[in-house]
Amino acid sequence: MAKQLTRMFLAVLTALWVTGAVAEDHAHMHHALPQDVDAFHSLLAPIWHARPGKERSRNACAKAAEMEKLAQGIRSADAAPLVAATATLKSRCKGKPADVDAALFDVHEAFHRLIDPKPPVSMRE
């Protein structure tokens, strides 16, 4: 009986550890991104997944120009909305620092619209 409980405890502990490790790997959700899109994702992911606040906003602003350049360099998909969102982020960093988090949210959403498949027709109605 004690061996069964020990095994069950170890199995649960292992499952929790694996789940935690996967949760920390933000790239696991995006399989086989084209190289130009993956380059943008590699820059955005650590900023987006950081704790919201002044430090994240500062980091977003520090990388806004690079985000814009990488978005402009995406040729494997229509990145126009992402380019527009990064330009807005860059603008907010210069003029309205209080709006940086909202602009970063828009960049993140534009990125996901770029990589996520469209929902089935039945779900769009």
Handedness of CA 52, 58, 59, 63 (dihedral sign): positive
CB distance 93 to 66 below 8 Å: no
pTM of the complete model: 0.71
pLDDT tens, position by position, for the chain (125 residues)?
A: 666 655 654 454 555 554 444 444 444 455 689 999 999 999 999 999 999 999 999 999 999 999 999 999 999 999 999 999 999 999 999 988 789 999 999 999 999 999 986 765 655 45
Round to whole Å and give the CA distance between 18 and 26. Answer: 14
